[in-house]
């Protein structure tokens, strides 16, 4: 039995099998076979529904210095901003009226948002919109902090592991950060009952097929409810400015592999994928994705939340984004739905 068939039948492979499978991502017949299986599987579980998560990028102030990221603390050219509670709530209001039933609060690791302040925001949103799910994506915090935020009502947490290879992790991050701590955070989130999201960039500097195979084995073991993957895109003010962007084809191939490995996973076609290819998000759906994350941040701040160059959708109002995405999903046979879009186990 070949490796692709084995993945389809058993939903798991060894690290060497993953490395061999993904090394063949340029084989168009293989990519098509996996994409068709991935779509078949997602349709069995989620039908043709695409879940929308209203993304609120509420601060670009960050104490970390991840080498790839445009809002790293040592980028003096980043124009910093932070939304007030009132501004965040007004983003939610607009989003709610547009039909969003999940809000994602994402930001840099900004010390202003103490547990108390953030828990207050979480509690207020959950009280105002009891029918909505709230996702946090605010980086590494203590177990106690995650516990307080969960108690305040947060349902889900996105924390990409970035790479499962410790040596690779060290080359992408300053020495104060460690893969060990990131993984501990993911385990803590799981213990506390969050729906947890892991993930990684495709084509980050120094990444090899073996690194990606380790990422896949990690996802297979951890079984996250959500997986965020998107191509690496260089940012002009980082030391990776001259590095090539990740491959769209490899990202799509990996989306299919991840869907087959984790049939129930909530899997976004990311903005980074849409940035590198004009129909990247549509192609993501055709590869097995079932989530999109339209931007709800105030238009005046969207360009400032610049993790990488040429980010799309920084000029449109939230309503336009919604309409545009609904049409894009429809063009490939999927339906953007108004629904919390919880994990179906």
Determine, following the binding rule CB under 6 A, whether residue 139 of this chain makes contact with ligand SAH: yes
CA distance linking residue 244 with residue 233, whole number of Å: 7
DSSP three-state, residue 155 = coil
Binding segment for ligand SAH (CB under 6 A), chosen from 14-22, 144-152, 226-234, 286-294, is 226-234
Binding segment for ligand SAH (CB under 6 A), chosen from 24-32, 131-139, 144-152, 259-267, is 131-139
Least CB distance to ligand SAH at residue 233 (A): 4
- Which one-letter DSSP state was computed for residue 162? B
Q: What are residue 135's DSSP bridge partners?
A: 104, 156
Determine, following the binding rule CB under 6 A, whether residue 224 of this chain makes contact with ligand SAH: no
Determine, following the binding rule CB under 6 A, whether residue 108 of this chain makes contact with ligand SAH: yes
Both tokens of 92, joined, read 């939610």
**Is residue 247 within 8 Å of 202, Cβ to Cβ?**
yes
**Is residue 161 within 8 Å of 122, Cβ to Cβ?**
no
User: Which of 95, 205, 230, 280 touches ligand SAH (CB under 6 A)?
Assistant: 230
DSSP letters for 16-45: HHHHHHHHTTT-HHHHHHHHHHHHHHHHHH
Least CB distance to ligand SAH at residue 71 (A): 8
For residues 104 and 337, which CB has a smaller minimum distance to ligand SAH in the complex?
104
> Long-range contact list for 209-213, CB < 8 A, 24+ apart?
209/19, 209/22, 209/23, 210/15, 210/19, 210/165, 211/163, 211/164, 211/165, 211/168, 212/18, 212/19, 212/22, 212/254, 213/15, 213/16, 213/18, 213/19, 213/22
User: Which of 36, 48, 65, 109 touches ligand SAH (CB under 6 A)?
Assistant: 109
Please give the order of strands across the beta sheet that includes 54-59.
54-59, 102-107, 133-137, 156-158, 195-202, 226-231
User: Which of 4, 13, 69, 148 touches ligand SAH (CB under 6 A)?
Assistant: 69
For residues 275 and 290, which CB has a smaller minimum distance to ligand SAH in the complex?
275
Site string for ligand SAH, 176-215 (x = CB under 6 A): -------------------------x--------------
Determine, following the binding rule CB under 6 A, whether residue 232 of this chain makes contact with ligand SAH: yes
Least CB distance to ligand SAH at residue 130 (A): 26
Determine, following the binding rule CB under 6 A, whether residue 173 of this chain makes contact with ligand SAH: no
Both tokens of 226, joined, read 């959500």
Determine, following the binding rule CB under 6 A, whether residue 159 of this chain makes contact with ligand SAH: yes
User: Which of 272, 291, 292, 296 touches ligand SAH (CB under 6 A)?
Assistant: 272
User: Which of 68, 113, 146, 169 touches ligand SAH (CB under 6 A)?
Assistant: 68
CA distance linking residue 82 with residue 316, whole number of Å: 20
Q: What are residue 337's DSSP bridge partners?
A: 51
Least CB distance to ligand SAH at residue 27 (A): 25
Residues that bind ligand SAH (CB under 6 A): 68-69, 106, 108-109, 137-139, 159-160, 162, 201, 230, 232-233, 235, 272, 307-308
């Amino acid at each position: 039995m070949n490796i692709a068939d084995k993945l389809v039948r058993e939903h798991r492979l060894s690290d060497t099998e993953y490395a061999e499978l993904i090394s063949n991502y340029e084989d168009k017949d293989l990519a098509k076979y996996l994409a068709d299986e991935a779509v078949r599987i997602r349709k069995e579980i989620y039908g043709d529904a695409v879940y929308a998560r209203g993304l609120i990028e509420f601060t670009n102030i960050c104490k970390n210095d991840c080498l790839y990221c445009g809002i790293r603390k040592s980028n003096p050219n980043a124009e910093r901003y932070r939304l007030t509670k009132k501004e965040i709530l007004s983003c939610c209001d607009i989003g709610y009226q547009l039909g969003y039933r999940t809000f994602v609060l994402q930001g840099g690791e900004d010390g202003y948002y103490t547990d108390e302040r953030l828990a207050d925001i979480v509690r207020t949103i959950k009280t105002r919109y009891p029918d909505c799910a709230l996702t946090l994506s605010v980086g590494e915090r203590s177990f106690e902090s995650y516990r307080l935020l969960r108690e305040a009502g947060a349902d889900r947490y996105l924390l990409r592991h970035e790479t499962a290879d410790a040596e690779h992790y060290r080359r992408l991050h300053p020495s104060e950060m460690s893969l060990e701590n990131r993984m501990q955070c993911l385990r803590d989130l799981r213990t506390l009952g969050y729906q947890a999201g892991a993930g990684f960039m495709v084509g980050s500097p120094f990444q090899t097929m073996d690194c990606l195979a380790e990422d896949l084995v990690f996802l297979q073991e951890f079984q996250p409810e959500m997986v965020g993957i998107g191509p690496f895109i260089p940012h002009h003010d980082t030391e990776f400015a001259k590095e090539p962007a990740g491959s769209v084809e490899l990202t799509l191939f990996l989306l299919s592999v991840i869907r087959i490995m984790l049939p129930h996973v909530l899997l976004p076609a990311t903005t980074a994928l849409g940035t590198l290819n004009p129909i990247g998000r549509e192609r993501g759906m055709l590869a097995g994705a079932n989530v999109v994350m339209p931007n709800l941040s105030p238009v005046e701040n969207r360009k400032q939340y610049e993790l990488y160059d040429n980010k799309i959708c920084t000029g449109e109002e939230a309503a336009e984004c919604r309409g545009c995405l609904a049409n894009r999903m429809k063009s490939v046979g999927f339906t953007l739905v108004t629904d919390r879009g919880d994990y179906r186990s």
